[in-house]
Amino acid sequence: MPDRLHTPVEDPVELTRKRFARRQWARRWLAWRVVLAVVLVVLTVAGGVWLVFFSTVLAIDGVEVEGNRLLTEAEVREAAEAPTGEPLARADLDAIAARIEALPAVASVDVTRAWPDQVLVQIVEREAVAVIDDDGRFRGMDADGVVFREFKTLPKTLPRLKIAPDTRGEAMAEGAAVVGVLPADIVAKIDFVDVKTVDQISLQFRDGRTVVWGSADESEQKARVLDALLRQRFDVYDVSVPGQPTTR
């Protein structure tokens, strides 16, 4: 019979050496994989930081304006002074907001980043509650007493604020605050608000009736009392002490 073919038996020492070498190579490869992964993460983060904070890829290209009615977009953009061409991520949004809030017509503003390249400006404008006749110039004032706009003619829907030449700004603000709490149906009856001092405020109705208001303190309660008193016709309504109103 022919001899059977036998597979040569590898030397145990050589086999052990090869197994050890494979384990060493596997450990080294694992270590290099970890190092490679860390390097890739670092490069990715560094690239992202450069892209966002230092490159012109995500640079400011314009300003979006929302909520404006009185102000034009051009006026808002001019006040914003957004650094066009600089990275959006580095824009000082607080500084931009402060410059826009300096506009008289702005009550509040929210400035945010609109990626990839816009600054978003959302404005709440002031709302006029009364008008000051300043030598033929009709100037609108909001409930905080801020004069912020002009009207070409006297608006029929807003009462005038009649003030003496020496009336302080504080008294003007008190008069505006009074108008600001009145319901629309009462405001529609007012011809003018006579402000002599912070404690001497009165309402003159278009039909000749007068409301003695006093100061702006407790104005909401005074408005409720006046609303009830107006159900009866009198020439004068005194709500300066809302707990003890009088009429005559």
- The answer, yes or no, to whether residue 245 has pLDDT greater than 90, is yes
- Check: CB of residue 241 under 8 Å from CB of residue 222: no
Average pLDDT over residues 200-210: 95
Q: Which of 212, 140, 149, 151 is nearest to 180 (CA)?
A: 140
Domain ranges of the chain: 11-55, 62-125, 130-247
**pLDDT at 58 (0 to 100):** 80
Q: Range with the lowest mean pLDDT among 1-5, 16-20, 34-38, 89-93? A: 1-5
Q: Which of 106, 105, 81 is nearest to 95 (CA)?
A: 81
- Encode pLDDT of 90-118 as tens digits: 899 999 999 999 999 999 999 999 999 99
Q: Which of 91, 128, 92, 130 is nearest to 107 (CA)?
A: 128
Fold type of domain 62-125: Ubiquitin-like (UB roll) (3.10.20)
pTM of the model: 0.71
- The answer, yes or no, to whether residue 209 has pLDDT greater than 90, is yes
- The answer, yes or no, to whether residue 44 has pLDDT greater than 80, is no
Judge residue 83's burial from the number of C-beta atoms within 10 Å of its C-beta, 0-12 exposed, 13-18 middle, 19 or more buried: middle
Fold type of domain 130-247: Rossmann fold (3.40.50)
- Encode pLDDT of 111-163 as tens digits: 999 999 999 999 999 999 999 877 778 999 998 889 999 999 988 888 888 88
